[in-house]
Amino acid sequence: MVSEAEDIVDTMRKQDIEPNVVTYNTLMQAGHIKVEKEVFRELSVNGLKPDVYTYAVIINGNCKKGLPDEAYQLFRSIEDNGCSPDRCCFNVMIQGLLRNNSTSKATEVLAEMVGKGFSANLCTATLFADLILRYDKSILI
């Protein structure tokens, strides 16, 4: 964890406020925690488990850093850790894969998402439509 995040957590503890998953999610969202391994270590050390939002934030961060394979591996490990991806997490994964030109994996995740009863959000649908129009072919076949 970077020192700024450590300072925030230390200050909370000095005031008898124990950080929870929401604390770590907020620190990650704000860019204070940059490495997923640190997050999972900190959560584990403090007896906490990542929630689906934790996964979505880290998946999104990895995709933005151009690391779609790491994001995909993490996405696949969600259920191993007692969570289930929700609509938001599916959409984050699909968008990240599409933005990193991993269309076959994105299509696979889309099919899985629909199979579980979730639907694509506007951003995900637009990315797929743009991809289809750009390449003048259906990637969904």
Which is more confident, 125 or 132?
Answer: 125
* pLDDT on residue 44: 78
Q: Averaged over 21-49, what is the pLDDT? A: 78
Instruction: Spell out a b/e string for 110-135, using b for 16 or more CB atoms within 10 Å of the CB, else e.
Output: beebeeeebebeeebeebbeebeeee
The gap between the terminal CA atoms of the chain, to the nearest Å, is: 44
Tell me the per-residue pLDDT of 37-56, one tens digit each, with 9 for 90 and over. Answer: 777 778 878 888 889 999 99
Q: pTM here?
A: 0.82
Task: Tell me how crowded residue 65 is: count the other CB atoms within 10 A of its CB.
Answer: 12
Residue 117 has pLDDT above 90, yes or no: yes
CA gap 77, 70 in Å, rounded: 11
Could you give the count of Cα atoms lying within 13 Å of 46 in the half-sphere of its Cβ?
20
Tell me the per-residue pLDDT of 62-75, one tens digit each, with 9 for 90 and over. Answer: 898 899 999 999 99
Residue 137 has pLDDT above 70, yes or no: no
